[in-house]
Chains A and B, each alone.
Chain A
Amino acid sequence: LAAEHSSIDALGQFQLHTALGPLGASVNFTQSNLAMVVGGVLILGLMYFGMKPAAIVPGRLQAAAELCYKFAYDMCIEQVGEEGRKFFPFVFTLFFFILFGNLIGLFPYSFTYTSHIAVTFALALAVFLLTTGVAIWIHGWHFLSYFVPEGAPKLLIPLLVLIEVVSYLSRLISLPVRLFANMMAGHVMMEVFASFMVMMAGAGTVGVIGAFFPQAINVILIGFELLVSALQAYVFALLTCLYLHDAVHLH
Chain B
Amino acid sequence: MLGLGLRVGAEVIAALLVGLAIGWGLDRVLGTRPIFLGLFILIGGAAGMLNVWRLVAPRP
Interface majority SS (helix, strand, loop, mixed), chain B: helix
Q: How far is the CA of A171 from the CA of B13 in the complex (A)?
A: 11
Q: State in angstroms the CA–CA spacing of A231 and B44 once bound together.
A: 28
The answer on a CB contact under 8 Å between A181 and B10 is yes
A132 interfacial by beta-carbon distance below 8 Å: no
Give bound CA distance, A154 to B3, whole Å. Answer: 38
A-B contact count (CB 8 A): 59
A37 an interface residue at 8 Å Cβ cutoff?
Answer: no
Question: How far in angstroms is the closest Cβ of chain A from B17?
Answer: 5
- Chain B residues with CB below 8 A from A138, complex form: none
Complexed CA–CA distance, A174 and B13 (Å): 8
A33 interface residue per 8 A CB criterion: no
Interface size on A, residues (CB 8 A): 18
The answer to whether B17 and A163 touch across the interface, beta carbons within 8 angstroms, is no
Minimum distance in angstroms from B50 CB to a CB of chain A: 5
Give 4 A-B pairs besides A163-B50, A174-B13, A181-B10 with Cβ atoms closer than 8 angstroms.
A166-B40, A170-B17, A170-B51, A231-B3
Partner-A contacts on B (CB < 8 A): 3, 6-7, 10-11, 13-15, 17-19, 22, 40, 43-44, 46-48, 50-51
Give chain A's interface residues, CB within 8 Å of chain B: 159, 162-164, 166-167, 169-174, 177-178, 181-182, 231, 235
